[in-house]
Amino acid sequence: MPTVRRNVLFALTPLALCLLHAGTASAQTVPGAIPGLNTAVPGGLGLPQQLLGNDAAGAPLGPAAAASAPVPRGNFVQPSLGMSVVQTSNAYFGTSTPAKSDTIISITPGIAFQTEGPDLRTYGNFALNGQYYARGSYSNTVLPSGVLGLSARLVDQWLYFDAGITAQQNALLTIPTQNTGTATYTTTQYRLSPYIDHRFDDNLRLRARSDNTWTRISGNQTGQALSNGRYSVQSVRLDRRPTPFGWGLDAKQEETVYTTTGALTVRDAIVRARGLYAFTPHFEAGLIGGYEHYSTSYASLGHSIYGVQARWQPNLFTRLDGVVERRFFGTGWDLNASQQIQQLSLRVNWNRSPSTFLAGLQTIPAGVSLSTLLDGMLASQYPDPAARARAVQNLLSVTGLPSTLPNAINYYTQSATLQDTLTATAVLLDQRNSYAASLFHAKTQDLILPGSAPLTSLLLASADYVQNGVGLSYGRRLTPVMSLNVGVLRALNTGFGPNAGVSTRQTTFIVQLNRRLSPQTLLVVGLRRQLLDTTNTGILNANESAIYAGLTHQF
pLDDT of res. 189? 86
What's the whole-number mean pLDDT along residues 59-73?
Answer: 36
- pLDDT reading at 320 higher than 90: yes
pLDDT of res. 208? 96
Which residue has better confidence, 388 or 493? 493
For the chain, how many structural domains are there in total? 1
The confidence band for 181, taking pLDDT boundaries of 50, 70 and 90, is very low
Question: Of 134-148, 220-234, 482-496, which range is least confident?
Answer: 220-234
pLDDT of res. 268? 93
pLDDT of res. 322? 95
Phi, psi for residue 429 in degrees, rounded to 5: -110, 125
Contact 259, 227 (CB under 8 A): yes
The confidence band for 459, taking pLDDT boundaries of 50, 70 and 90, is low
- pLDDT reading at 378 higher than 80: no
Please give the residue range of the domain that contains residue 150.
3-554
Percent of the chain with pLDDT over 70: 70
Q: Which residues make beta-bridge pairs with 131?
A: 106, 141
Contact 142, 177 (CB under 8 A): no
Question: Of 206-210, 284-288, 469-473, which range is least confident?
Answer: 469-473
What's the whole-number mean pLDDT along residues 82-95?
Answer: 85
The predicted model scores a pTM of 0.78
- pLDDT reading at 403 higher than 80: no
Domain of residue 322, CATH code = 2.40.170
The confidence band for 234, taking pLDDT boundaries of 50, 70 and 90, is very high
Contact 212, 162 (CB under 8 A): no
SS3 per residue for 6-40: HHHHHCCCCHHHHHHHHHHCCCCCHHHHCCCCCCC
Nearest to 52 by CA among 157, 255, 193: 193
- pLDDT reading at 75 higher than 90: no
27-47 per-position pLDDT tens digit: 322 222 334 445 444 443 332
- pLDDT reading at 544 higher than 80: yes
CB atoms within 10 A of CB 331: 10
- pLDDT reading at 120 higher than 80: yes
Number of H helices, E strands in the chain: 6, 24
* C-alpha distance from residue 412 to each of 137, 262, 358 (Å): 26, 15, 9
Amino acid at 2: P
pLDDT of res. 352? 94
What's the whole-number mean pLDDT along residues 85-93?
Answer: 87
pLDDT of res. 51? 31
239-276 per-position pLDDT tens digit: 999 999 999 999 999 998 888 766 678 899 999 999 99
What's the whole-number mean pLDDT along residues 398-425?
Answer: 77
Which residue has better confidence, 522 or 395? 522
Percent of the chain with pLDDT over 90: 32
What's the whole-number mean pLDDT along residues 372-394?
Answer: 67
pLDDT of res. 313? 93
Which residue has better confidence, 30 or 451? 451
HSE-up of residue 305 (Cα within 13 Å, Cβ side): 28
- pLDDT reading at 342 higher than 60: yes
Nearest to 434 by CA among 382, 394, 390: 394
Which residue has better confidence, 141 or 421? 421
Please give the Cα distance from 512 to 528 (Å, whole number): 9
DSSP string covering 199-236: ESSSSEEEEEEEEEEEEEEES--SSS----EEEEEEEE
What's the whole-number mean pLDDT along residues 45-58?
Answer: 31
What's the chain's average pLDDT?
A: 77
- pLDDT reading at 332 higher than 90: yes
